[in-house]
Amino acid sequence: MKTRMVFRTGRRAAVRQSLFAIPLGLSSAAMLLLAVLPFLLAAPTATASGATVIPANGPAVVLQVNKGSLIRLDRPAATVFVAEPEICDIQVVSPTLVYLIGKQAGETTLYAVDGDEQVLTGMPVQVVHDLSRLRQAVQRLHPGIDLGLNSVGGAVVIEGNVPTAAIAEDVRRLASHFIDRDDGEVVNRLAVTAPSQVNLRVRVAEVSRDVQKQLGFNWDVLGSIGSFQLGLGVFNPFAANVVTDGVLGALNTSSVDANVLIDALDQEGLISVLAEPNLTALTGETASFLAGGEFPILVPQGDGRITIEFKKFGVSLAFTPTLLSESRVSLRVRPEVSELSTEGAVTIPVAGSTLSVPSLTVRRAETTVELGSGQSFAIAGLLRNNVSHSVKKFPGLGDIPILGALFRSDRFQRNESELVIIVTPYVVRPATATAFALPTDGFSPPHDLERVVSGGTYRRQPLRGPASVVAPDGTRLIGPAGFILD
98 DSSP β-pair partners: 71, 92
Task: Determine, yes or no, domain membership for 420.
Answer: yes
Q: For strand 197-225 and strand 278-282, is the pairing parallel, antiparallel, or unpaired?
A: antiparallel
Q: Which CATH number goes with the domain that contains 183?
A: 3.30.70
Q: Is 139 found in the same domain as 90?
A: no
CA angle 99, 101, 78 (to 5 degrees): 40
Q: State the virtual CA torsion across 140, 144, 148, 150 in degrees, nearest 10.
A: 20
Q: Is 137 found in the same domain as 114?
A: no
Q: Is 417 found in the same domain as 289?
A: yes
* Domain encompassing residue 94: 61-128
pLDDT confidence of residue 244: 45
HSE toward the beta carbon, residue 247, CA cutoff 13 A: 6
pLDDT confidence of residue 115: 84
Query: What is the spatial distance between Cα 1 and Cα 252, in angstroms, rounded to a whole number?
Result: 175
Q: Is 454 found in the same domain as 353?
A: no
Query: What is the spatial distance between Cα 171 and Cα 186, in angstroms, rounded to a whole number?
Result: 10
pLDDT confidence of residue 17: 34
Q: Is 446 found in the same domain as 370?
A: no
Q: pLDDT in tens for each of the 486 residues of the chain?
A: 333 333 333 333 333 333 333 343 444 544 444 444 444 444 444 444 455 555 656 678 888 888 888 888 888 888 888 888 888 888 888 888 889 988 888 888 888 888 888 888 888 888 888 888 888 888 888 888 888 888 877 788 888 888 777 788 888 888 888 776 555 688 888 887 766 788 888 887 777 767 666 656 555 544 555 555 445 454 444 344 444 444 444 445 555 454 555 555 555 666 566 678 888 888 888 888 888 888 888 777 777 777 888 888 888 888 898 888 778 888 888 888 888 887 778 777 766 777 777 888 888 888 888 888 888 888 777 677 777 777 766 676 667 776 666 566 766 677 777 777 888 888 887 777 777 777 677 677 777 777 777 777 766 665 555 545 555 555 555 555 555 544
pLDDT confidence of residue 406: 59
Q: Looking at 253-327, which runs of residues are DSSP E strands? A: 256-275, 278-282, 287-300, 306-323
pLDDT confidence of residue 211: 62
61 DSSP β-pair partners: 125
Query: What is the spatial distance between Cα 276 and Cα 85, in angstroms, rounded to a whole number?
Result: 66
pLDDT confidence of residue 248: 45
Q: What's the total number of domains in the chain?
A: 4
Q: Is 343 found in the same domain as 448?
A: no
What is the value of pTM for the model shown? 0.46
Task: Determine, yes or no, domain membership for 437.
Answer: yes
Task: Determine, yes or no, domain membership for 212.
Answer: no
Distance (Å) of CA 208 to CA 155, 293, 382, 383:
62, 20, 12, 10
Task: Determine, yes or no, domain membership for 349.
Answer: yes
Q: Which CATH number goes with the domain that contains 70?
A: 2.60.40.1380
Q: Is 155 found in the same domain as 87?
A: no
Q: Is 421 found in the same domain as 356?
A: yes
Sorted by sequence, the CB contacts under 8 Å of residue 319 that are 6+ apart come out as: 200, 202, 279, 281, 286, 287, 331, 332, 333, 334, 423
349 DSSP β-pair partners: 354
- The closest alpha carbon to 310, from 295, 323, 298, belongs to 295
Query: What is the spatial distance between Cα 39 and Cα 8, in angstroms, rounded to a whole number?
Result: 10
Phi, psi dihedrals of residue 288, rounded to the nearest 5°: -135, 160
Domain final residue, candidates 380, 402, 428: 428
